[in-house]
A and B are shown apart, each in its own frame.
Chain A
Amino acid sequence: MSQKSLTIALAGNPNSGKTTIFNNITGTRQKVGNWPGVTVEKKEGIVNKYGYELKIIDLPGTYSLTPFSVEEIIARDFVLDECPDVVIDIIDASNLERSLYLATQLREIDCKVLFALNMADIARTRGIKINAKKLSELLDLPIVFTIGNKNEGIDELLKKAIELAESDIDTSGKRKVKYNKDIENSISKLRSFIENNLEISLPYKTRWTIIKLLENDKIVRERVLQKAGDQARNVIQEVQLHRELLADRFNDDPEIVMTDERYGFIAGIIKEVLTTIAKQRIDISRNIDLVLTNRFVGFPIFIFFIWAMFQLTFSLGTYPMEWLDSSVSWFSMSLDGFLMDSLLKDLLINGVIAGVGSVIVFLPNILMLFFCIALFEDTGYMSRAAFLMDRIMHLIGLHGKSFIPMLMGFGCNVPAIMATRTLESEKDRILTILITPFMSCSAKLPIYIVLAGIFFSAKAGTVIFCIYFAGIILAIVTGRLFRSTLLRGADAPFVMELPPYRVPMIKSLIIHMWDRGKIFLQKMGGVILIGSVVVWTLSAFPRNIQYSRDYVAETNSVKALYDTEITTANGLDRQNLEKKQDAAIEELEMARKSEEVEKSYMGRMGKTLAPVFAPLGIDWRGSVAVFTGFVAKEIVVSTMGILYLAGDEGSDTLKNALLSSDMTPLSALAIMVFVLLYLPCLATVATIKQETGSFKWTLFSITYCTSLAWVAAFCVYQGGKIIGFS
């Protein structure tokens, strides 16, 4: 017997606890955050309960279905086009009045709606009492109390949802917002106009369509025209007449009057169901904000948090990093002893393990960074950060909200660029996408750690900080430049809720951290693994190289030379000679390997590119390493490892190899600057394409980044030389 399947959509305001309830129902792992609009993607989960297969869809958090932003369009289209069996409207009980605005719009669409009055416990401590029975009667819909983070009321919510889905009530007769006489008059006149033109078929229910047309909703108008074709033009014209009539009557746009009327309707309900105890309890959230967004200490604390985040990530993360590093070398060494010499062994140890191993050690850093970002999101501090930063972001021509994607860019550009969906204006989104790659992502960090650590040992931290800072400055400059040229116009309005602070749930923080860490690991398994193998292949082939010297013969003659001396010498002399012999052979071997790499496909590629990189002080090996970074930034370090012959024996050998190469602190700095700015990794480019939806913008972004990188690195290297550094 197959189960009956039902679709349940979760709708609600941002921060209403919607995602928490979704997680509780489905048990799937999903991002929960306090940043308005964190649920950008449509997420779904299937559960089998009470004999039904329930498909739960988590709609983006919205305040309205106007549609003002991408989220609202997504949410509205889902309800309209997919016709879920039930829509559960999750309502923050301490914010009833504003939440009801969305509820009235859902009711207008004519779908089966059920209320989940969430976080009623918090509402109660704030002195808010809701008469649910009355509310249920007034709106004629079922209401369930839930406490999302304690998993209370969820089962009952599902039972009620199924009950409602299976009932055959007619939603069109349910109580809705009644507009004033003039508007209702227009609605009924338009209704009869449409009904008299029988051929006209509307894509949606008549009353709703008329309301939306009166509200001058462009999307609905387009769809009506699409569906009904030319016949609809008459209707649109008729609507236009009524719009003008109403605008004249109220001395304001009909949509404004209707918004007012909806709130009027809500106010009537609120008066009957809500009682607020006059005695105000201490509002903890407000008290926290007295400090965190304080005029004097707000910014220092903000900077401290960012600093602490970096410290936690990069200092504390070093310990597990070292453990991982030594396990990788141990594994590589034991494999070396275990396997027979062959091409496969070479591939495994020098390609796969060296490549993947040099990247996996950064997993602890990345997990910690994502943990911190999740902490900011879940507590509600993210929106305070936007509040603090808006003035500054506004100077670049961006919204305070853009700060969050940019901050996340420090972790990984892929989720950061995806987070730009929270921005309402398309220009803002594109601008943020264009400058986010300058936020140095965590995958670039290994490169800085290696280069700065080797060439600026004691000052490594300062150098890395400066690199990050330079990225931020260039992002600002770019933002201003583009805002005044390519993307001219004002940035989106800053109408943002500051949700109450919440104690984050450890479980949800860990889920966030792990989900994002997983993206990193998946990259390890896929792109980086393939990249490492490709890099190894390019550097290990062709096998039959014409060497400039006969290394085998030379080695043999050196051996023979010392062997005769060793046999004649004795005691201490003998030991010294043996050491000298080893060193001489080692030196020859290094020279041979170096020539091997130089003559490999990789070396030839690098040499072809070298003239482009020469003015930046980057030699052919550096240029190859940077070149391979397109696959993923993590690969740059492993390519360096292979090219500078550090092999798989840990970072000390790479250090010695780099120090003995022509690389100077100045050219190391130039590489770092180049890496900071140049074309983002494959995954990021793909995300830019997806989010801008435009090949042109993607190409523009890549070209701009790379040219800027070249120019900046050129300035650093040549400028540094002029000043007298080397």
Chain B
Amino acid sequence: MLLSEMKEGQTGVVNRVGGNGALRRRILEMGILKGSKIYIEKYAPLKDPLELIVKGYHLSLRVEEAAQITVDDMK
């Protein structure tokens, strides 16, 4: 499933980071790589962006950016 489809409180493992260019690289550099565990902390009040926990810190991403990332649900 896509990262943007995950709900608050769900955990997933990154399968693939799509997109291209600088954005993709930046997302990878921030630690969202294949195999990273991601916990969806919350969505912003206006449903965009979202806050997630990866490698022990809090990061925010826009929904459209999260839609480039596929994850495997861990329940």
Contact bitstring B52-73, A, C-beta under 8 A = 1, else 0: 0001111111100100000000
* Distance in angstroms between the alpha carbons of A493 and B22 in the assembled complex: 9
Question: Of A68, A390, A495, which one neighbours B59 at CB under 8 angstroms?
Answer: A495
Chain A nearest CB from B33 CB (Å) reads: 5
Q: Which residue of A lies closest to B29 (CB)?
A: A64
Chain A nearest CB from B55 CB (Å) reads: 5
Q: Are A494 and B45 in contact (CB under 8 A)?
A: no
Q: Are B61 and A255 in contact (CB under 8 A)?
A: no
Give every chain A residue within 8 A of B60 (Cβ-Cβ): 387, 390, 494-498
Chain A nearest CB from B39 CB (Å) reads: 11
Contacts known (A97-B55, A97-B56, A293-B51); A493 close to B45, Cβ less than 8 A: no
Chain B nearest CB from A282 CB (Å) reads: 15
Q: Are B57 and A293 in contact (CB under 8 A)?
A: no
Chain B nearest CB from A365 CB (Å) reads: 31
* Distance in angstroms between the alpha carbons of A68 and B21 in the assembled complex: 10
Point out which of B34, B44, B47 has the most chain A C-beta atoms below 10 A from its C-beta. B44
Give every chain A residue within 8 A of B7 (Cβ-Cβ): none
User: Does A138 count as interface, using CB distance less than 8 angstroms?
Assistant: no
Chain B nearest CB from A267 CB (Å) reads: 9
Q: Are A494 and B65 in contact (CB under 8 A)?
A: yes
From 2 to 44 in chain B, residues with beta carbon under 8 angstroms from any chain A beta carbon are 22-31, 33-34, 41-44
Give every chain B residue within 8 A of A286 (Cβ-Cβ): 41
Question: Of A68, A95, A263, A394, which one neighbours B22 at CB under 8 angstroms?
Answer: A68
Q: Are B46 and A391 in contact (CB under 8 A)?
A: yes
* Distance in angstroms between the alpha carbons of A298 and B43 in the assembled complex: 12
Q: Are B29 and A387 in contact (CB under 8 A)?
A: no
User: Does A686 count as interface, using CB distance less than 8 angstroms?
Assistant: no
Chain B nearest CB from A374 CB (Å) reads: 22
* Distance in angstroms between the alpha carbons of A600 and B43 in the assembled complex: 63
Q: Are A388 and B45 in contact (CB under 8 A)?
A: yes
* Distance in angstroms between the alpha carbons of A95 and B23 in the assembled complex: 22
Contact residues of A with B, CB < 8 Å? 63-64, 66, 68, 94-95, 97-98, 101, 128, 255-256, 259-260, 263, 285-286, 289, 293-296, 298-299, 387-388, 390-392, 394, 400, 493-500
10 other A-B residue contacts (CB within 8 Å) besides A256-B28, A390-B48, A391-B46: A64-B26, A66-B25, A128-B56, A260-B34, A263-B28, A285-B58, A295-B42, A494-B49, A495-B23, A497-B58
Can you offer 28 A-B residue contacts whose CB atoms are under 8 A?
A: A68-B29, A98-B56, A101-B29, A256-B24, A256-B28, A286-B41, A293-B45, A293-B51, A294-B45, A299-B45, A387-B60, A390-B44, A390-B48, A390-B49, A390-B62, A391-B46, A391-B47, A391-B49, A392-B46, A394-B62, A493-B61, A494-B62, A495-B27, A495-B65, A496-B59, A497-B30, A497-B59, A498-B51
